Amino acid sequence: MTLADDIRGRHPIVVPGVYDALGARMVQSVGFGAMFQTGYGTSATLLGMPDYGFVGAAETVDNARRICSAVSVPVIVDADTGYGGALNVHHLVRQLEEAGAGGIFLEDQRWPKRCGHMEGKEVLPQGEYAEKLGAALDARQSRDFVVVARTDARATEGLDAAIQRGQDNYRTGADAIFVEAPRTIEEMRHIGKAINAPLVANMIEGGATPIQPAESLHSMGFTLVLYPLSVLYASAAAALSTLKDLRRNGTTTNPSMLSFEQFNELVGLPGVRSLAERLASK
Q: What is the pLDDT of residues 44-76, one digit of tens each?
A: 999 999 999 999 999 999 999 999 999 999 999
The torsion angles phi and psi of 78, rounded to 5 degrees, stand at -70, 105
Mean pLDDT of the chain: 95
Q: What is the pLDDT of residues 216-230, one digit of tens each?
A: 999 999 999 999 999
pTM beyond 0.85: yes
Q: Specify the pLDDT at position 253.
A: 81
| Helix (H), strand (E) at residue 240 | helix 230-249
Residue 120 reports pLDDT greater than 90 = no
Residue 281 reports pLDDT greater than 90 = no
CA distance 70 to 65: 9
How sure is the predictor about 115, in pLDDT bands with cuts at 50, 70 and 90? confident
Q: What domains can be seen in the chain, in order of their start residue?
A: 3-235 (3.20.20.60), 248-280 (no CATH)
Could you give the count of Cα atoms lying within 13 Å of 35 in the half-sphere of its Cβ? 31
CA distance 155 to 202: 15
